[in-house]
Structure 1
Amino acid sequence: MIEELTSALGLGHYQEWDEAKRQQFLLEELTSRRPLIPRRWECSAESREVLDTFKVIAQEHSEALGTYIISMAAEPSDVLTVALLMKEVGGQVTLPIAPLFETLNDLDHAGEVVDQLLAIPGYRSLIDDRQEVMIGYSDSAKDAGQLAAAWAQYRAQESLVNVCNRHGVDLTLFHGRGGTVGRGGGPAHAAILSQPPGSVNGSLRVTEQGEMIRFKFGQPDIALRSMEIYACAVLEATLLPPRAPEPHWREEMDQLAKVAHAAYVGVVREDPDFVPYFRAVTPEGALGRLPLGSRPTKRRQDGGVETLRAIPWIFAWTQIRLMLPAWLGSGEAFSRRLEQPGGRDVLQEMRNEWPFFGTYLDMLEMLLAKADVAIAAYYEHRLVDEPSLKALGKQLRERFGRLEEAVLDILQQEKLLENTPLIRQAIDVRNPYIDPLHGLQAELLQRNRDADGAISADLSRALMVTMAGIAAGLRNTG
């Protein structure tokens, strides 16, 4: 929109300016007393939608709106642009502006971007020395794999805490978690206590999404209990922060993340059979008809995995009980380290003494227990014909098996959830109700494909019911 505005006013092409010139322009306009946007400016529909959004902000109480989040933030000018539009259109209403760092590259540079932002003269007066930063879990995991993303998120938070402390600015980290492990989900208390020391300093923001809103806040007593859990965890993390990781733990995580990332990318991005296998074996093509979610399943209708939004990406794999996005790559990382001298000892040391790594393994163990490669193989049997795709499916299930062996080795257990019998019991109770839905869903998907999507309304509704039923039974799927 700013490009369109500067061109219309004869000020030049905003997109061609470097970051320094953009910042200079935005800061001058922020302090200027004259309006920048002409009252009768005939702009494009996209720009009009942006302006209308800020007009809505101007008409509401700031307490009802919370924070303005900038998705895919990459430069300080992204934040200054929103501040300028609030000044131009938002009237007296100003909201906290939180840059959202989502991809692996964005997380790696989050501290640097916020450092540049806080060093800009005049910006500190706009924020009253309070800065919110949102950490994205969904897209970073889809981009890099769960293990590499989790470590990048941890390091980004450490960097942001250090930067804000150096500038004397109060930082509130905003965690964009979903319900699934692959989107940062898990027990709230453990998740908060596993954050870097200093990152929970009396304040925290978290998203609750999808079915997790109903589970945690659907009834008054449960909602009260959920808020108690959050409040107690924030107090504990503030007053008794977890220990900082030892230098050799950092080196271990760097290597584990490197191996896991390479393995994940080698399958998801580089294997030519992966996208066809994903579309053949999962109900991804039918998710758009499911009356759940607030956005289209894809950012673009063409392209591969990179165009798919994180929620349907995770949801599709969960439906066939393979849970692939949350574990792919981890098996290679752990197995390789266990084969090396001293590997088992250091992994067990990290599991016992470092809350971040211990919580990660706990979530991975729970996820492995909920998965069922036999059900995934049944979907493949019904829906996949090509030998190359079947070979890839077999390889993925073998990777899953090696990861399960590695996790049990690190945990020194004979079976999953050995030390958490209540979770094991809950899974065992739900499975007999969920398993028949998988068989029915595979049959309906086959009929839907044979009919090129032209199945009857009753069969289409039945297919949607199987998706909702499996999601409800597995609980943390959104």
Structure 2
Amino acid sequence: MKQDLVTQLKDTIKYLGATLGETIETELGSEWLHRIEQIRHDGRASANGDEASTQKLAETLASLDNKSLLTIGRAFAQFLNLANIAEQEFNTAATSADTLSLQLTNLLDNSGKEVSEDDIKKAIENLNVDLVLTAHPTEVTRRTNIHKHRELASQLLTLHSTEMSESERARSKTRVADLIAQAWHTEEIRSIRPTPVDEARWGYSVIENSLWEAIPEFMRELDEFLQTRFSQRLPLTAKPVQFSSWMGGDRDGNPFVTASVTQEVLHRARRRAAKLFLEDLHRLYTELSMNKCNDELREKIGDKKEPYRAILKPLIQKLELTREGKVDSKHWIQSTDELLAPLNTCYESLCECNMRVIADGALLDTLRRAHAFGAQLLKLDIRQDSQRHADVFSEITQYLDMGDYNEWSEEEKQAFLLKELSSKRPLVPKNWSPSDDVQEVLDTCEVIANNDKAGFGIYIISMAREPSDVLAVQLLLQEAGVNWPMPVAPLFETLDDLNHSPQAMKALLGIEWYRHYINGRQYVMIGYSDSAKDAGSLAAGWAQYESQEALVNLASENNIQLTLFHGRGGTIGRGGLPAKAAIHSQPPGSLEGGFRVTEQGETIRYKFGMPQLAKRSLSLYASAVVEAVTSPPPAPKAEWRNIITQMANKGRDNYRQTVRHDKDFVPYFRVATPEQELGKLPLGSRPAKRKPQGGIESLRAIPWIFAWAQTRLVLPSWLGVMRAIDSINTTENNPLVQEMIEQWPFFASRISMLDMVFKKADPKISAAYDKRLVPNELSHFGEALRKELTDSIDSLLSITGHEHMMEDDPHGRTSMNIRATYLQPLHYLQIELLDRIRKAEASEFSDNDVETLERAMMVAITGIAVGMRNTG
């Protein structure tokens, strides 16, 4: 990382912070600006370990009234937003030379790896990256402010990357001040939770504002690499990257995602696609004014002077009807082929008539978009819990006096389902009145049947355990009239389910009817969040690895193409890893069937929020997959397996001893973190718990991670891990452990992510929460956790030979140090607010006071989440 770029980053943050200060001073006066600046200075000194400044910071905040605390919270949350925007622009500038072509060229020319040109060509030819946008509630920033932030980042790029006159520079700076003022005077917290349709619209905006431009740019670079290196073109039909979505389709534990919502989301996606393609088609209509064409085009449009415009005009008219949505949807664009046919005809004609330079312009970009996004814009996945499907058959079998399906053995369930799958008569009785929950499942299947298959991705079964879970969905789809083989993916989530997954899939693939149905292609989703919540990050990671390894071998034995779908979150506690590390830590052979992964919450914005960042992220994914396929990581040695298995088992036991078996854990968690207050933050459409009355076990993985990140203990990401590693890393085993770090990407990635986690953790801040909020009888619990945290940090430094956390990632280290200045005041503000809110619940406070406190708390939670970045 160049030092001048780091200096530029720091200067940019100072500039943005000073501009925000001017905005605050204009509204609130110089006294308020001075107060905020003093808190900022105290926060910086406190973050650097100055105890007197820490005490002063806490006393200052304690002396302020509730409304003033809200203002302080808003100021520092805004500071952190601006720091992130500056870093986003910095990332774009710092990595501009790290192109896809350069990455692929380095892979070919790296003498340490025997990669042939044929290997690279084949890997690119088979490249299949499916990025699944999800609405998991870790994106805390409102869409209206995301727009302002994107505009602000664009202005920073302009200021830093072009020669500008003084008047142009002044106008750009005025625009920066304008956008910062807009954000300051805009409510940063949603007043109500977004609906699933709102979340889907947010996903469409990511495509419209970023990916729409990034995809053809990425494809052009890939095409240029192939031409330069191999003298061949990327096929017009190539689709190395595609996009799917859970927004409006993920109904697991979310009562607000209904069949009608799914239908509305499907329609809205088609209308948004029409809008975007219309913009492209209007441009093409303007540009393709030439009259020379080939015989095929002439035959289709007759004797028209402007044949290209003539063939595009009916498509434009149909897109307009789709965009407006005022006529019956049967008159809309129905399929991607309707888009592609006239575009392909134009392209082939231009090439035949020696106008390839025109064909390879805007027309080629539109063709690439049509293949990547299609007429449906996104492929919508459907996700539902396995028990909801079983309940359908439970009600049916009881109605038909056949007994209770839920009480049958696995063998009985399979026999019943296979018999019905082969039957020509309908199963669902005509005069039957199902419960509301069962009717909703049936209605969802009808929505699938009533829409084009191109609008759907796969059907995912949460908490899948046995073959009957998959067969049940197949029968439901068949009963609804789905006449195409929709892929159904079991999702193995808990530790036990992951360990059992090879056995379950072996039994499923052993069913002749099923093997015929899938036609040689199977999807399996690997759950990262719930397995880590169940057993800790190390045990979960190894179980995920072993299950994938076994599933890859099983697919090979059965001549099945297996696509593993990775349900990763942003944090290590939810399987989060940098893209390259995540891909290279997979078992050998696990990418042969493509790479499918969730992109969740705030990570969507950080990876794809701007066209330049999106292109970079797409390039990282593509090059990492190509490298992993052509130079797969080594299979773990027997000695490594033995070591990691021992570590994983001890890590699981350490983790569960604290989380499951210690009677003080739940009481401590409730008081030491803002877990209960998080439920009031309108982050996403889903409830925080799968079961409203449930305890920790029913708490979703995201608020579980989110709560610990707020207090900087980030406990789920490291609890029990280093203790387990240390217990096995004896003098005798140490050379083997070092070998695993140096030669095995799976283990090295775990160590690397712990390094980042420990940099984000802060025992002193956690202790400050405890001192104010935790009763004396529970204080020992937090002390013990922080002792393990500090011991774990020392242990990691010892095993890596580093002096500081993130020594190998100076950019990340700089980023965290910059944000620490603004995070420190927010943590102490949150402590003050938590104390006041909890006291207010037991005393007589006015409604206005409580409302102000709760709003300030939401701002503080949001600000800390922004500062920590990968909170979920």
Residue of structure 1 in register with 2:854 after alignment: 460
Residue 345 of structure 1 is matched in structure 2 by 735
Deviations 1:365-417 (A, max 9, x none): 00100111111111111111133x10010000000111111111110112211
1:377 is aligned to 2:771: no
Counterpart amino acid of 1:432? T
Structure 1: tracts of 5 or more residues without a match:
none
For the pair 1:405 / 2:766, whether they are aligned, the reply is no
TM-score (norm 2): 0.54
Deviations along 1:14-41, whole A, 9 cap, x unmatched? 1222111211111111121111112342
**Equivalent residue letter for 1:362:** S
**Alpha-carbon distance in structure 2 between the residues aligned to 1:423 and 1:265:** 31
Q: 1:14-33 to 2 correspondence within 5 Å?
A: 14-33=405-424
Q: Deviations over 1:96-139 (max 9, x none)?
A: 11100000000001111001000001101211110000000000
Quick one: which amino acid aligns to residue 109 of structure 1? H
* Residue in 1 that maps onto 2:776: 386
After the TM superposition, which of the residue ranges 83-92 and 281-290 deviates more from structure 2? 83-92
The question of whether the paired residues in 2 share the 8 Å contact of 1:319 and 1:471 is answered with yes
* Percent identical residues: 52
Aligned partner of 2:502 among 111, 115, 128: 111
Contact 2:587 2:635 in 1 (8 A): yes
Supply the AA of the counterpart residue of 1:212.
Answer: T
User: Structure 1: how far apart are the matches of 2:644 and 2:863?
Assistant: 37
Alignment partner of 1:153 is 2:544: yes
1:331 shift after superposition = 2.2
Partner SS state of residue 708, structure 2: helix
Are the structure 2 counterparts of residues 91 and 302 from structure 1 closer, same or farther at C-alpha, using a change threshold of 3 Å?
A: closer
Q: Which amino acid aligns with 2:854?
A: S
Match of 2:612 in 1: 221
- TM-score, normalised relative to structure 1: 0.97
Deviation at 1:303, TM superposition (A): 4.3
Q: What are the Cα deviations for residues 75-103 of structure 1, in whole angstroms up to 9, with x where unaligned?
A: 00000000000111143354211100000
1:155 partner amino acid: E
* Alpha-carbon contact 2:643-2:728 (below 8 Å) kept: no
* Residue number in structure 2 paired with 1:361: 751
Q: What letter is aligned with 1:232?
A: S
Residue type at the aligned position of 2:858: M
- One of 657, 667, 673 as aligned partner of 1:266: 657
Describe the superposition over 1:171-216 as per-residue Cα deviations: whole angstroms up to 9, x where unpaired: 0000000111100112111110110001111501100111111111
2:680 alignment partner AA = R
The answer to whether residue 785 in structure 2 is matched with residue 396 in structure 1 is yes
1:334 to 2:725 alignment: yes
User: Tell me, which stretches of 5 or more residues in structure 2 are unaligned?
Assistant: 1-391
**Which residue of structure 2 lines up, in the alignment, with residue 195 of structure 1?**
586
Does structure 2 retain, via aligned residues, the 8 Å contact 1:173–1:199? yes
Question: What is the CA–CA distance in structure 2 between the aligned matches of 1:435 and 1:65, rounded to whole Å?
Answer: 45
CA distance in 2, matches of 1:366, 1:143: 22
Mapping 1:168-317, distance limit 5 Å: 168-317=559-708
The whole-number CA distance in structure 2 between the counterparts of 1:103 and 1:212 is 24
Structure 2 distance, partners of 1:34, 1:224, is 51
- Residue 109 of structure 1 aligns to a residue whose secondary structure is helix
Question: What's the offset of the Cα at 1:66?
Answer: 1.0
Name 2:5's counterpart in structure 1: none
SS at match of 1:10: coil
| Inter-partner Cα distance in structure 1 for 2:612 and 2:454 | 25
**CA distance in structure 1 between the partners assigned to 2:546 and 2:495 by the alignment:** 11
Asked if 1:477 is matched to 2:871, the reply is yes
Q: How far apart, CA to CA, are the structure 2 residues paired with 1:90 and 1:237?
A: 40
Q: Please give the alpha-carbon distance, in whole angstroms, between the structure 1 residues aligned to 2:503 and 2:523.
A: 15
Q: Does the 8 Å CA contact 2:589/2:629 hold for their aligned counterparts? A: yes
Report the equivalent of 1:415.
804
The runs of at least 4 aligned residues of structure 1 exceeding 4 Å deviation read none
Question: Does the CA contact (< 8 Å) of 1:103 and 1:140 recur in 2?
Answer: yes
Match of 2:151 in 1: none
> How big is each residue's C-alpha offset from its partner over 1:407-453, in whole Å with a ceiling of 9 and x where there is no partner?
11110112211222111111101111111111111111111111129
Aligned partner (choices 811, 817, 827) of residue 428 of structure 1:
817
2:633·2:745 contact (CA, 8 Å) conserved in 1? yes
Q: Work out which of the residue numbers 43, 47, 70 in structure 1 matches 2:438.
A: 47
